[in-house]
Homo-oligomer: A and B are copies of this chain.
Amino acid sequence: MTSPRTQPAADRPRRGRQRASHSSEAVLSAAVDLLDEAGESALTLRALAARLGTGVGSIYWYVSGKDDLIQRAIDHVLGGVLADIEARAGTGDALDDLRVMAVTLFDAIVDRPWLGTHFMRGIDVEGSSLRLYEDLGRQLLRLDLTPRQRFHGVSAVVGVVVSNALDMGQEPPPSVLDGAVDRDEFLGRYAATWRTLDPDAYPFVHSIVDEFDGHDDKDQFLGALDLTLAGLRLQAGL
């Protein structure tokens, strides 16, 4: 009963019954496809089994449960993100590089909102999450910072990326999945509600409602990111 959970079957000489060609790879790819196509709620063990042309029980040969499945799926796609990020390193200023990497990561999460929720849960083990953390942090190694400042700095940057990408990922339950209502209109409703509020009770909300209406999510993220980077630049004495 040595399950291939720690060492995928694909790595070993292929044997075993060939009825339906499974493997960690196939399971994970199918899971990612389901996630991409219809979001986190679409990833059910039964749907996954159906797509693989197999039974639910088979999946448990490759993963220990649904949590494990999601974790692996995340690590799976994070591998690609990692390649992108590492390709963009070392060209300029440390903070510029860090910025480019953060933006790349952000874009990836926006592309796949399901990444956000469970993101950074797998930093304990060696995997893409840890590599990502390492790559981000390595930029700060080039600056004149204390270890503590470096540690807090990366945490801050990751936090900004995740929280902003998460923000964008949340959709209204019914509509947007099929594109019936686009995000702009969705956000426009927020703005419309806000405008009806008493300006004396909500002066701030009124002062930014125009900014909010039709705002670009990416700008919002970049704004937050640059605040953090400005703080880091200050700390590094630049």
Whether, in the assembled complex, A99 has its beta carbon less than 8 Å from a beta carbon of chain B, the answer is no
The contact sample of 19 A-B pairs, CB cut-off 8 A, is A125-B193, A126-B197, A133-B204, A133-B205, A134-B205, A137-B205, A137-B208, A138-B203, A140-B204, A147-B211, A148-B223, A151-B211, A151-B223, A152-B224, A154-B208, A156-B223, A156-B227, A163-B166, A231-B231
Cβ distance A122 to chain B, nearest Cβ, rounded Å: 11
Whether, in the assembled complex, A175 has its beta carbon less than 8 Å from a beta carbon of chain B, the answer is no
Q: Which residue of B lies closest to A230 (CB)?
A: B231
Cβ contact within 8 Å between B150 and A208: yes
Q: Given the known A-B contacts A133-B205, A138-B204, are A220 and B124 also in contact in the complex, defined by CB atoms under 8 Å? A: no
Cβ contact within 8 Å between B220 and A227: no
B-contact 0/1 string along A147-171, CB 8 Å cutoff: 1111111111011101110110010
Give the docked Cα–Cα distance between A190 and B229 (Å). Answer: 27
Q: Which residue of B lies closest to A123 (CB)?
A: B190
Cβ distance A163 to chain B, nearest Cβ, rounded Å: 4
Q: Which residue of B lies closest to A120 (CB)?
A: B167
Give the interface SS of chain A, mostly helix, strand, loop or mixed: helix
Give the docked Cα–Cα distance between A164 and B160 (Å). Answer: 10
B-contact 0/1 string along A50-82, CB 8 Å cutoff: 000000000000000000000000000000000
Residues on A lying within 8 angstroms of B by beta carbon are: 120-121, 123-126, 130, 133-134, 136-138, 140-141, 147-156, 158-160, 162-164, 166-167, 170, 189-190, 193, 197, 201-205, 207-208, 210-212, 215, 219-220, 223-224, 226-232, 234-235
Give the docked Cα–Cα distance between A212 and B152 (Å). Answer: 10
Q: Which of B147, B152, B193 contacts A227 (CB 8 A)?
A: B152
Q: Which of B207, B226, B228, B229 contacts A224 (CB 8 A)?
A: B228
Cβ distance A194 to chain B, nearest Cβ, rounded Å: 8
Cβ contact within 8 Å between B152 and A207: no
Give the docked Cα–Cα distance between A67 and B153 (Å). Answer: 35
Cβ distance A147 to chain B, nearest Cβ, rounded Å: 5
Give the docked Cα–Cα distance between A210 and B223 (Å). Answer: 32
Q: Given the known A-B contacts A126-B197, A224-B155, are A207 and B147 also in contact in the complex, defined by CB atoms under 8 Å? A: yes
Cβ contact within 8 Å between A227 and B223: no
